[in-house]
A and B are shown apart, each in its own frame.
Chain A
Amino acid sequence: MNSFEIFLAAQTSGAAGWIAERASLSGVDGAGAAALYLALKIVFGVAAIGVVMCFAALSVVVERKVAGFIQGRFGPNSTYIPYLMLVPVVGKTLRRLGLMQLVADGLKFLFKEEPLPGHVNKFWYTLAPIISLSPVLICACVVPFGVFEHGGKATALAAANFDLSLLFITVLGSLGVYGAVLAGWSSNSKFSYLGGIRAGAQMISYELVMALSLAPVLMWIAPRVSSPFNLFEIGMSQSGMWNIFAQPLSALLFLLALFAETNRQPFDMAESETDLVSGFHTEYGSFKFGLFFVGEYGHMVVGSSVFICVFLGAWSPLPGLSWPLEWGAWCGVLSFLTFILKILAMIFFFVWVRWTLPRFRYDHVMNLSWGKLLPLALANFAAYMVLACFIK
């Protein structure tokens, strides 16, 4: 048994494990299967990142479209690719949906001149957008996008599925704020600086609320699952009832914290354009701004998928229903589609709220967190601790 085989024996899990196992069953030797397994892991990681990036891009379109619709406009509906317009219905539909606008915007960011202002700290200024985006992409690999049957066991359709994945995703997700803080500081501009400070302060305040709102859920499901910190297990535990019904207050607190963490209106203190021009990315342009932009939407997608996994029943289409595992690959496809649909619904909700609520004042945001939400989250936590004693 070489080291690859030991590795294989210890680590095979998920879809990559499934395929590698099939390969070794059909005559591929251990080392080959292990190599295949590793390669597939990378492919799946890239695929997960691809899904999140696609949704980040799509949410930009959704944002612009929904914004238009709510304001009685059409939103982007004129951009088109000439040759694509020759396809009868498809071209026109894509044009009306504004999907080609997405391509145009992306190319614009890519091909614009890359300005580097003279007054910035060049190293950190360049690094900040990368720091802002990369945690989101790493988080994407942990999100279980679906469930399928493997060896008689439910298996996560995730690039990486491990215990503590919930902890991993919350910790890494909040690292993204370093991007905002560094951008604010390195830009050497008052507006950016204030934006960075606000981003940091807000993140610290709402991170507490977020963690405290997750704790009761973990206690709630702990008796039923083997590892309550695993996103996949949390998702699986909700085949009977979604956590949002069992723990509405936790869900509300988590959602509020999520809005604050993703810097979405009404909590977008860090870039409130009324008082800070554009906040922490005031000095950014072209592709570097594009990275911030995508990072923000990617954060939204990952945050939504955590909310879906923890509260909205993950892959179950309706409360109390779940796709039967016996359907094999179909179960995987259907659960994936359900999850995707839920992410879309969440994105719509984010956008819907943005065009409904006005931005809070900064001190209101801080007051809401420390004065209202944190005590509420603590009380909720304590209440479920007491309740958990009785339930057991």
Chain B
Amino acid sequence: MAIVVVERKKLSFWERTYLPQIAGGLWITLKNLFRKKVTLEYPEQRPALPARYRGAPTLVKDPDGREKCVSCQLCEFVCPPKAIRVSPGAIAEGSPYSHIEKAPAKFEINMARCIFCGLCQEACPESAIVLQKEFSVNGFDRKSFIRGKADLYEKGGVLPDNVMKWRKASLNAEKSKGGR
């Protein structure tokens, strides 16, 4: 391949003084001075989060108010920083959902360990654990970062899906009579 000698452009006198370039640069920065600011003033202004934002994990209930978690402990197993601790417990005899066999007696997420990866949500066969939009988790001591079951349900709320796979036929009939 032949070597091509690139002709350097001959600089004019003014270009060599560098002064017009300085003036040009000053003009650009002056324009920037009056540009709209890009800063988001955080505590007062909140960022617009995308629909599938991965914030803090929470536990959710189904529209019937049943806790969706069946205490399979897959999330505990998959959690990379071992932030989740599930203690399975039995469901009370009289409950219409007693055939599910297990529900978490204790469900703790240590938010000081959680890395917001969302693997728990992916692993969950029941869509019981959902990463929601809370991104600022604060506390004054380590204990305050451990979220118990009640706390997690309160933050989670209800997941509006209507897959009622654990609802018994009799209960279904009753519900549909009730207008659902």
Contacts and interface: CB of A to CB of B under 8 A. Distances in A.
A357 B25 CA distance: 7
B30 to A, nearest CB: 7
A357 B21 CA distance: 10
A73 B39 contact: yes
Nearest to A372: B17
Contacts, number: 35
Given A357-B22, A357-B25, A66 B33 contact: yes
B37 A74 contact: yes
Interface in B19-55: 22, 25-26, 28-30, 32-39, 41
A70 B38 contact: no
B26 A72 contact: no
Given A356-B25, A356-B26, A70 B32 contact: yes
A190 B36 CA distance: 43
A72 B39 contact: yes
Nearest to B36: A72
Contacts of B41: 74, 77
A72 B32 contact: yes
A72 B35 contact: yes
Contact size range, B: 10 to 19
B37 A72 contact: yes
Contacts of A69: 32-34, 37
A352 B39 contact: no
B38 A72 contact: yes
A362 interface: no
Nearest to A355: B29
Contacts of A73: 37-39
A356 B37 contact: no
A103 interface: no
A71 to B, nearest CB: 7
A388 interface: no
Contacts of A71: 32
Interface string A343-355: 0000000001101
B30 A352 contact: yes
A157 B22 CA distance: 36
A69 B32 CA distance: 7
B178 to A, nearest CB: 54
A353 B19 CA distance: 12
Contacts of B36: 72
A185 to B, nearest CB: 34
A71 B36 CA distance: 10
A129 to B, nearest CB: 32
Interface in A350-392: 352-353, 355-357
Nearest to A77: B41
Nearest to A368: B18
Given A71-B32, A73-B37, 16 more contacts: A69-B34, A69-B37, A72-B32, A72-B35, A72-B36, A73-B39, A74-B39, A77-B41, A352-B26, A353-B22, A355-B29, A356-B22, A356-B25, A356-B28, A357-B22, A357-B25
Interface of B: 22, 25-26, 28-30, 32-39, 41
7 contacts: A70-B33, A71-B32, A72-B32, A73-B39, A355-B29, A356-B28, A357-B25
Interface of A: 66, 69-74, 77, 352-353, 355-357
